[in-house]
Amino acid sequence: MREKKKKINVMKWINNLVTGILMVLLIGVASMVVISKASGGEPQLFGYQIKTVLSGSMEPGIKTGSIIAVKLDIDKDNLKEGDVITFRESEDMLITHRITEVTKNGDSVLYRTKGDNNNAEDMNPVLSANVVAMYTGFTVPYLGYFANFTQSKNGAFLLLVPGFLLLLYSAFSIWKVLSAIELPQKKQTEVLEENSGKSSS
Q: Within a domain: residue 20?
A: yes
- pTM exceeds cut of 0.75: no
User: What pLDDT was estimated at residue 91?
Assistant: 82
Residue 168: closest CA among 41, 10, 3, 19: 19
User: What pLDDT was estimated at residue 97?
Assistant: 97
152 and 146 in contact (C-beta within 8 Å)? no
111 and 132 in contact (C-beta within 8 Å)? no
Tell me which H or E stretch contains 137: strand 131-140
Residue 114: closest CA among 129, 101, 97: 97
Q: Within a domain: residue 188?
A: no
**7 and 94 both lie in a single domain:** no
User: CA 177 to CA 65: how far, in whole Å?
Assistant: 43
User: Which residues form the catalytic set?
Assistant: 55
Who contacts 186 (Cβ-Cβ below 8 Å, separation ≥6)? Answer: none
User: CA 149 to CA 162: how far, in whole Å?
Assistant: 16
User: What pLDDT was estimated at residue 70?
Assistant: 94
For the chain, the domain total comes to 2
Could you tell me the strand order of the sheet in which 108-114 lies? 44-45, 48-53, 66-71, 131-140, 84-90, 93-105, 108-114, 126-127
Q: What is the domain-level CATH number for residue 58? A: 2.10.109.10
**1 and 14 both lie in a single domain:** yes
**98 and 162 both lie in a single domain:** no
22 and 169 in contact (C-beta within 8 Å)? yes
Q: Within a domain: residue 182?
A: no
User: CA 55 to CA 77: how far, in whole Å?
Assistant: 27
Q: For the chain of 201 residues, list the mean pLDDT of each consecutive stretch of 10.
A: 59 70 63 54 72 90 91 93 94 92 90 96 94 93 73 59 66 66 55 52 51
**91 and 30 both lie in a single domain:** no
Q: Within a domain: residue 189?
A: no
Which residue type occupies 22? L
Q: Within a domain: residue 195?
A: no
Q: Within a domain: residue 83?
A: yes
**73 and 135 both lie in a single domain:** yes
Q: Which domain holds residue 100?
A: 43-143
**104 and 167 both lie in a single domain:** no
User: What pLDDT was estimated at residue 183?
Assistant: 53
